[in-house]
Chains A and B, each alone.
Chain A
């Protein structure tokens, strides 16, 4: 059965304390893996797409990496404004349906 698992469920960091969020997946075939950021009461904001193992993407303090079984979202020197829920989702092959499989999310709190 296709499954996406994110860990930890919640993460509290001090400002400047780097860490990583994990997204492990089991799908019959991976078409793409997506990271989103969601603030309370708002729609998810697209961050990254990863298509193949070994791929990396960066944006400001965030860096996403992908292996054959999992993806990491590395947060370097986080700031309070990075506090949000981070969602991971996968699209399996055949991947032309647009049907994303979401993880449960990791809620990040960064304290000043």
Chain B
């Protein structure tokens, strides 16, 4: 099974709201990722967790805060977002940082 799940599927939030995106995998993968994807563009890497530790932060604004509670779960906490943060947020996982990544279905985020 190569399934990564994400909740919610859609999220609309105001600029003063706080919300969280959730991601889960049960493949025993030790690396998990957050990506942001705008329309007609490839995914842009935001964060990488390796063995539950943050290993890459691609200079993402602090209004995005990742969390890896355990090896199967990855959260992205959102606070005081801007309309330009509206995008498809993708979670991915891989056995290690050297092999293919498996993506979830994404969360469509709209900031009003």
Binding site for B on A (CB under 8 A): 31-32, 34, 36, 41-46, 49, 87, 89, 91, 95-100, 102-105
Contact of A98 among B43, B50, B90 (CB under 8 A): B50
* Docked-complex contact B101 and A104, CB < 8 angstroms: no
Is B98 part of the binding interface, using a Cβ–Cβ cutoff of 8 Å?
yes
Which residues of chain A are within 8 angstroms of B102 by Cβ–Cβ distance?
46
* Docked-complex contact B100 and A49, CB < 8 angstroms: yes
Contact of B103 among A32, A43, A99, A103 (CB under 8 A): A43
User: Which 6 pairs of residues, A with B, have the shortest CB-CB distance?
Assistant: A98-B97, A102-B42, A43-B103, A96-B97, A44-B103, A43-B106
Main secondary structure of the interface of B (DSSP, over half): strand
* Docked-complex contact B45 and A99, CB < 8 angstroms: yes
* Docked-complex contact A100 and B45, CB < 8 angstroms: yes
Is B88 part of the binding interface, using a Cβ–Cβ cutoff of 8 Å?
yes
* Docked-complex contact A46 and B2, CB < 8 angstroms: yes
With contacts A41-B108, A44-B103 taken as known, whether A97 is within 8 angstroms of B97 at the C-beta atoms is yes
Instruction: Map CB proximity to A onto B42-79 as digits: 1 under 8 Å, 0 otherwise.
Output: 11010010100001100000000000000000000000
Q: Give 19 pairs: A residue, B residue, CB < 8 Å, sorted on A.
A: A32-B99, A32-B100, A42-B105, A42-B106, A43-B90, A43-B92, A46-B101, A46-B103, A91-B98, A95-B98, A96-B96, A96-B97, A97-B48, A98-B56, A98-B94, A98-B96, A98-B98, A102-B42, A105-B42
